[in-house]
Structure 1
Amino acid sequence: MNKENLVPPKQSVQLIAAEELAEMLDVSTRTVWRLLSTGQLVQPLRIGGSVRWRIDEVQEWINNGCPVVTK
């Protein structure tokens, strides 16, 4: 088998809901929405009627000291 033809496995993207993010940040869900509306939180993905955050982006945001996010 030729190794050049192998396709690397796709990385799975882990998404979390507002409730999970609130628990992760130890704040209320209302505070998550407030942080988002004031530009203090990384932008979520909108999938149909659902709003989800990429956990890797949230972790990077936390590791950087939770900076204000510019749009």
Structure 2
Amino acid sequence: MKRSDPIPTDKESFKSFSIDARDDPLLLTAEQVAKLLQVSKRTLWRLLSAGALPAPLRIGNSTRWGCQQIHHWIDAGCPSPSARENSTERKK
């Protein structure tokens, strides 16, 4: 997949969506994450404030999410914070 290719939105295409480190970024901007989730940037920030999203990385004044982190979170069904805590406790 090349940078110019759109992020797939249907479930079947998304399953075959692969990340080629040479072509795709390792970190996603808020705009890219919002587009992937099909929500507005404002809704993305609200979800983050509510603790519904994985925590982003801060690099200087920039906020970024790990591409694989977001994809794993989506693959897991976008679990809520309490569900993520429970799954972490079960692994211990």
Relative to the length of structure 1, the TM-score reads: 0.78
Structure 2 counterpart SS, 1:22:
helix
Counterparts of 1:1-71 in structure 2, within 5 Å, are 14-69=26-81
Runs of at least 5 residues in structure 2 that lack an aligned partner in the other structure? 1-20, 86-92
* Superposed CA RMSD: 2.0
**Aligned-pair CA distance for 1:69:** 2.6
Runs of at least 5 residues in structure 1 that lack an aligned partner in the other structure? 1-10
Q: Tell me which of the two structures has the higher relative contact order, counting C-alpha pairs closer than 8 angstroms and 6 or more residues apart.
A: 1
Larger Rg: 1
Give 1 or 2: higher helix fraction. 2
> What percent identity do the matched residue pairs reach?
48
- The residue type equivalent to 2:60 in the other structure is G
Relative to the length of structure 2, the TM-score reads: 0.61
Distance 1:34 1:68 in 2: 14
Distance 2:60 2:30 in 1: 15
Distance 2:81 2:65 in 1: 14
User: Number of matched residues?
Assistant: 61
Match of 1:7 in 2: none
